[in-house]
Amino acid sequence: MTDTMTPEQRHRCMAQIHSKGTKPEVKVRKWLWSHGYRYRLNVKSVPGKPDIVMRSYRTAIFVNGCFWHGHGVREAHNEKLRIKNEELLQDSSCCKIPTTNREFWVKKIQRNQVRDQENYRLLQENGWNVVVIWECQLTPKRIEHTMREVELLLNENMLSLYKHHTPIPYSTEEDTPLPMAAEGTTE
């Protein structure tokens, strides 16, 4: 960001960074869409406000940034490292906690982790399947593999719906309207 931006432009730029629809989530959406999957975004009626909701699969997808959601960070086991309470986390390869103000960041990330777990639990209690996709799984090298795994999960979730419940009739009003041409993009 440079000083050539007007305050208004800067505001819009910042708002974009913090708003929903960040890059990793867009990658997932694009993949799903181009493979014929239809979904809803940020459905408020679903607990935990998942990033992507696929009602016909009874599946809620979260696309998590590795830093903010503390991907792979673990509580430190070294007693010497335990300062004050037990709020110390170990870095992981994709979540490096800043050394400056480290306690602050650890607390923040831990809070996010706790909230994530609560959301997942709440969803599962309400009969939803939860799929978590991490930012680091969406690099050009990994995205195809990751999304194929997600696809498998979706199919399993669909199967279990038919096994355990009366099938939920497919409801078009729950899904984004799509042009007929999009049908042809399915592999």
Nearer to Zn ion, 136 or 150 (CB): 136
Nearer to Zn ion, 82 or 96 (CB): 96
What phi and psi values does residue 170 have, to the nearest 5 degrees?
Answer: -65, 125
Q: Choose which of 27, 29, 69, 71 interacts with Zn ion (CB under 5 A).
A: 71
* Residue 66 binding Zn ion, by CB under 5 A: yes
Q: Choose which of 136, 147, 150, 161 interacts with Zn ion (CB under 5 A).
A: 136
Q: Which CA distances in Å does 77 have to 70, 74, 89, 186?
A: 17, 9, 9, 48
Nearer to Zn ion, 33 or 67 (CB): 67
Contact (CB, 8 A) for 129 and 150: no
- Separation of alpha carbons 118 and 126, rounded Å: 12
Rounded to a whole number of angstroms, the minimum distance from the CB of residue 137 to Zn ion is 7
What phi and psi values does residue 32 have, to the nearest 5 degrees?
Answer: -60, -45
Rounded to a whole number of angstroms, the minimum distance from the CB of residue 139 to Zn ion is 10
Rounded to a whole number of angstroms, the minimum distance from the CB of residue 65 to Zn ion is 9
What phi and psi values does residue 62 have, to the nearest 5 degrees?
Answer: -110, 130
Residue 133 β-bridge partners: 63
CB-CB neighbours of 43 under 10 Å: 16
Q: What crossing angle do the helices spanning 23-34 and 143-164 adopt, rounded to 10°? A: 60
* Residue 63 binding Zn ion, by CB under 5 A: no
- The H-or-E segment that residue 41 falls in is strand 40-41
* Residue 62 binding Zn ion, by CB under 5 A: no
Size of the site for Zn ion (CB under 5 A): 5
Segment interacting with Zn ion, rule: CB under 5 A, options 26-34, 47-55, 89-97, 108-116? 89-97
* Residue 106 binding Zn ion, by CB under 5 A: no
Query: Which residues bind to Zn ion, rule: CB under 5 A?
Result: 66, 71, 94, 134, 136
